[in-house]
Chain A
């Protein structure tokens, strides 16, 4: 039955019933179009929120050394704790940690030519950028790398503010900035768009340790955890950490002032919940619009078959088998929905990609947006279209089966 002649017969009915074809096609194309637009809007919301708050989704832990507030293990109270290489190794070997950096801080005056200003010089490791979402835009150089650390290079990553104050219109990359009598070569300027503080300039921590701390100790340790986990898991991890550090420096694990622990588990858990909610919302939007499309297509199919009852009766009377009636209706439905679905995809994807490109053009560096890159995954779109076609066919199948079984005489009486 699926020969060329059958297709020609179907093509004939499609061509000569322009109104019906147009209406069915419009319903399908509109369904797909709306599906794409709604899904893209959902995705845009998700992308926007994620790009703004992705930093919050990470569980970052910061450790500061303090003073003991009680005697422990034969050691007196009011003893100062200092971080050194043993702490570095301890954190470095934690199985839970992902990125890891130590910090050395110093308030400094930097100068270039006649210009000068005060900033916080921070000696860090390359992972510090990943922990704090420090980004460097293309053409703005690079962040510190492992070679800078290993060779204690005197290189510096400027804040956008420092670059503006010191260099005005000049390109700072490759130029030397003076701190006292030490010259640092500028290797990059970080992007301030998503940074809360832009008062820090970054140098290799090994360089800072040698120049400003006599080659011993660090001021702060930052690291992120691979998994966010629950509150309880997080509390247990911090407790274990205190015990390990307590053993290392001989202080009571319950002594809060000996070791300051700052961690973002609360924010991270909350943000991840928001992400989950948004994902759920996008999924719901998709399912709802898909269902609306299915109902629309099914409805049109129902009406189409109803309208053709008489024609079906005539065809049956002159020798059409039930199967040929069924295939006529179903193939026509597939043909129309596929073609219309394709048009819907082209228009929908064209629109969303256009809006996305336009928004990318409009957005400036410092713009904070909750709506970003409103596009859909093509695989999802084709999957949805196929689902719509299949459901349209199934919706058409019920009345088509009834039509194929109908008594020709009764069908022909129907007006």
Chain B
């Protein structure tokens, strides 16, 4: 059973001049896939990511996440689904600057109502997995870019989501750290079976994934299998 089913998705931004961004997207993603979405800026890939992450609505078509139709949900319901099913990793890390690494990782569990003691213990466990246990009480500005991104990944993982949406996760990292990051995401994908969707414009990042989807001008251009993924950044 596919985790994501998208049928004829359309999205128009109504501004001064209406902008038809997504013009009928069809996409099916199976559980445990490791996918990259590529496209030039303005191609609509960010819009697609927002809709996939239930951060934005679409106009026509249908989007099923884990067999649940995502359409015109209330903000509260959308927040709950984001919290339970989706983990986000961003280019600019988006850690809360005044919270230390552990508190940042534990935050999704706060919104699930998990007790402070338990969520902090769990956060430490996930930081340990990322090799950052010693940095649990460091503030984000005391961490390197790679460390920040690993904290962000730990935060994305802690609620045990079914998919992780990563928006240019290596965009702010040097090539060595980028390679480590891709290896880490690959490992999480393999061991935990979490579906991984990575939006990128770097061919090298896309080359490390199993399936590469190109978006051109609001529709899916090519959708190819990558039988020999290699991490060479």
State the A residues within 8 Å of B (CB): 5, 8-9, 12-13, 16-17, 310-311, 313-324, 404-405, 407-409, 412
Among the stretches B35-43, B73-81, B142-150, B181-189, the one at the interface with A is B73-81
In the complex, whether B103 has a CB less than 8 A from a CB of chain A is yes
The tally of residues in B whose CB lies under 8 Å from a CB in A reads 32
Complexed CA–CA distance, A323 and B99 (Å) = 21
Within 8 A of A (CB), among B152-200: 155, 159
The residue that B99 contacts in the complex, of A12, A316, A324, A407, with Cβ under 8 A, is A12
B111 close to A319 (CB less than 8 A): yes
Q: How many A-B residue pairs have CB under 8 A?
A: 71
Q: Does B94 contact A (CB under 8 A)?
A: yes
- Residues of chain A within 8 A (CB-CB) of B112 are 319
Q: A8-B116, A13-B98 are in contact. Are A318 and B76 (CB under 8 A)?
A: no
The answer to whether A311 and B96 touch (CB under 8 A), given A5-B110, A322-B75, is: yes
Chain A's closest residue to B97 (CB) is A311
CB of B71 within 8 A of chain A? Answer: no
B115-155 to A contact mask, C-beta < 8 Å, 1/0: 11000000000000000000000000000000000000001
Q: Please determine whether B55 and A324 come into contact, CB atoms closer than 8 angstroms.
A: no
Nearest-CB distance from A96 to chain B (Å)? 70
Whether B107 sits at the interface, judged by CB under 8 Å, is yes
CA distance A350 to B103 in the complex (A): 41
Q: Using Cβ atoms and an 8 Å threshold, which residues of chain B touch A8? A: 116
Within 8 A of A (CB), among B47-68: 50, 53, 55-56
Cα(A322)–Cα(B82), bound, Å: 13
B residues with CB within 8 A of A:
46, 50, 53, 55-56, 75-76, 79-80, 82-84, 88, 90, 92, 94-99, 103, 107-108, 110-113, 115-116, 155, 159
By secondary structure, the A interface counts as: helix
Cβ contact within 8 Å between B80 and A321: yes
- Supposing A5-B110, A409-B50 touch, asked if A321 and B75 sit within 8 A by C-beta, the answer is yes
Chain A nearest Cβ from B37, distance in angstroms: 15
The answer to whether B55 touches A409, judged by C-beta atoms less than 8 angstroms apart, is yes
Contacts of B113 in A (CB 8 A): 5
B103 contacts which chain A residues (CB < 8 A)? Answer: 12
Q: Tell me which of A322, A405, A409, A412 contacts B76 (CB under 8 A).
A: A322
Q: In this complex, which of B95, B107, B112 has the most chain A Cβ atoms within 10 angstroms of its Cβ?
A: B107
Is the beta-carbon distance between A314 and B96 smaller than 8 angstroms?
yes
Contact between chains at B116 and A5 (CB < 8 Å): yes
Chain A residues contacting B99 (CB-CB under 8 Å) are: 12, 16
A17-B155 CB under 8 A given contacts A319-B111, A321-B79, A412-B90 = no
Residues of A within 8 A of B116 (CB): 5, 8
B110 contacts across to A, CB distance below 8 A? 5, 9
User: What CA separation (Å) do A8 and B80 show in the bound complex?
Assistant: 21
Cross-chain contact A412 with B92 (CB below 8 angstroms) = yes
Q: Is the CB of A317 within 8 A of B55?
A: yes
Chain A residues whose C-beta falls within 8 Å of the C-beta of B95 in the assembled complex: 314
* Partner among A310, A318, A407 whose Cβ is within 8 Å of the Cβ of B82: A318
Q: Does B53 lie within 8 Å of A318, measured CB to CB?
A: no
A16 to B90, CA, bound (A): 24
Identify the closest chain A residue to B165 (Cβ). Answer: A317
- Contact between chains at A318 and B107 (CB < 8 Å): yes
A319 touches B80 (CB 8 A): yes
In Å, the complex CA distance between A324 and B83 comes to 13
A315 adjacent to B90 (CB under 8 Å): no
Closest beta carbon of chain B to A65's beta carbon, Å: 88
Excluding A321-B80, A412-B92, 19 further A-B contacts by CB distance (< 8 Å) are A9-B110, A12-B99, A12-B103, A310-B94, A314-B95, A315-B107, A317-B53, A318-B107, A318-B159, A319-B83, A321-B75, A321-B76, A322-B79, A324-B111, A404-B75, A407-B55, A409-B50, A409-B55, A409-B56
Name the A residues within 8 Å of B82 (CB-CB). 316-319
Q: Which A residues lie within 8 Å of B83 (CB)?
A: 318-319
The 5 closest A-B pairs by CB, nearest first: A319-B83, A16-B98, A321-B79, A319-B111, A321-B76
| A175 nearest CB across to chain B (Å) | 80
Instruction: Tell me which of B55, B84, B98, B159 contacts A17 (CB under 8 A).
Output: B98
The docked-state distance in angstroms from the alpha carbon of A313 to that of B92 is: 13
B88 to A317, Cβ gap below 8 A? yes
Shortest CB–CB separation between residue A331 and chain B, in angstroms?
15
Q: Which of B46, B79, B98, B108 has the most CB of A within 10 A?
A: B79
CA distance A405 to B57 in the complex (A): 13
Residues of A contacting B79 in the complex (Cβ-Cβ under 8 angstroms): 316, 319-322
Contacts of A321 in B (CB 8 A): 75-76, 79-80, 111
B159 CB to closest chain A CB, in angstroms? 7
Contact B75 A412 (CB under 8 A): no
A-B contact pairs, 21 of them (CB 8 A): A5-B115, A16-B98, A17-B98, A314-B94, A315-B107, A316-B79, A317-B53, A317-B55, A317-B82, A317-B88, A317-B94, A319-B80, A319-B82, A319-B84, A320-B79, A322-B79, A323-B76, A409-B46, A409-B50, A409-B55, A412-B90
